[in-house]
Amino acid sequence: MNPRDVDPRLLRGFVAAAEELHFTRAAARLYVAQQALSRDIRRLEHALDTTLFLRTTRQVELTLDGQRLLPLARRVLRAHEELAAAFTTGAGSRPLLVDVNTDGPGTARTVLERARELAPDCELMARFESGLTHAAAEVAAGRLDVAFGYADGLDPALRAPLARTLVRHEPLAVLLPEGHPLAAGDRVPLDALAGETVYAGAGNPRTTEWTGLARELFAGRGILMAPPAPVAMGMDEFRRVMAKTGNPVLATVGFLRMPGCVKLPLTDPVPLSPLSMVWRKGFSHPGLEALRTAAAGLAAERGWLEPPPGSWLPARLTPGPAGG
């Protein structure tokens, strides 16, 4: 094989393996068998007449030629993405697939609607993957283009192939069954949840970043994490399972209202979830630029990136004193 004829798939496998330095994780990231990835790496090495990795039983390292190839491969893949975007369906580009988490209102939906106004010739298609851990893997694999969620809570290996921008410090709320003692007020202080068992997606492999955020928030406050419940697909099933368990549910203030439930903001302090927009590194599409412009504009207009004084953020993102 001539180096000029290298299949971009081989370069995608190489980049994943080079970033992970672990063939099993790289194969999982690409949704291929490890044997298939190893075979593609050998084909690439044969085409380039060089060795790209030094593999032992303990570790994987790039050779000097592997280090030299990595930025070149990324550049080729970026050009390949741009080529695909420029010569597919629609007004100069294919539809952009955007995961907004749930089929309802919320920050991601607001950004999407603004982007549609900014780029009316682009087709921005909403998807509802319900959980950034799952959606990020779909983005990395090319089955989704953009997703929203708590990106800092992702496993570093899952986060590595993604570009991101912070969209909003989103206030959290609690969803309570009607008749719950805490449902009578207009807000719920965090201390009032002490002794309560609150559902935050535990056991759902799609939402591990959200469960991790909840564990950090609940720690030291006497709030218990609800055990895994059946993963509900769709709002009707979610409402049914919630009514059956009777547990409060951690949510965002933009989460849709549901019959039989009361949604109240959490306070004292106001807990915030850092909501980011993520996409594949090197990916280019006019709809993506519209989304980034929409997110920045809405954040400036509505103060989305200005945490209220005394609010709570995950440890890595706790705001400093005013003016610090």
Inform me whether the pLDDT recorded for 320 exceeds 80.
no
Name the residue type at position 82: E
pLDDT computed for residue 80 by the predictor:
77
Spatial distance between the Cα atoms of 92 and 113, rounded to a whole number of angstroms? 20
pTM more than 0.75 = no
Closest CA to 156 of 318, 25, 317, 56: 25
Closest CA to 66 of 126, 123, 21: 21
pLDDT computed for residue 310 by the predictor:
86
Lowest mean pLDDT among 82-91, 109-118, 137-146, 302-311: 82-91
Inform me whether the pLDDT recorded for 33 exceeds 60.
yes
Spatial distance between the Cα atoms of 282 and 74, rounded to a whole number of angstroms? 8
Domains of the chain and any CATH numbers? 3-86 (1.10.10.10), 96-168+273-310 (3.40.190.10), 171-272 (3.40.190.10)
| Stronger pLDDT, 61 or 105, i.e. the higher one | 61
The residues facing 97 across adjacent strands are 125
Inform me whether the pLDDT recorded for 324 exceeds 70.
no
* Residue position matching structure tokens 């708590």: 150
Per-residue pLDDT band for 232 (boundaries 50, 70, 90) equals low
| Stronger pLDDT, 257 or 308, i.e. the higher one | 308
pLDDT digits (tens, 9 = 90+) for 155-166: 998 999 999 999
pLDDT computed for residue 84 by the predictor:
65
Mean pLDDT of the chain: 86
pLDDT digits (tens, 9 = 90+) for 234-263: 566 666 666 666 789 999 998 877 778 899
pLDDT computed for residue 321 by the predictor:
33
The structure tokens listed for 212 are: 């991790």
Inform me whether the pLDDT recorded for 173 exceeds 60.
yes
Q: How far apart are the first and last CA of the chain?
A: 58
Per-residue pLDDT band for 230 (boundaries 50, 70, 90) equals low
Per-residue pLDDT band for 201 (boundaries 50, 70, 90) equals confident
* Contact of 260 with 236, CB cutoff 8 Å: no
Q: What average pLDDT does this structure show over 117-139?
A: 90
| Stronger pLDDT, 263 or 89, i.e. the higher one | 263
* Residue position matching structure tokens 């008749």: 179
pLDDT digits (tens, 9 = 90+) for 53-74: 998 877 889 999 999 999 999 8
The structure tokens listed for 45 are: 């090495």
pLDDT digits (tens, 9 = 90+) for 130-144: 789 999 999 998 889
Inform me whether the pLDDT recorded for 319 exceeds 50.
no
pLDDT computed for residue 239 by the predictor:
65
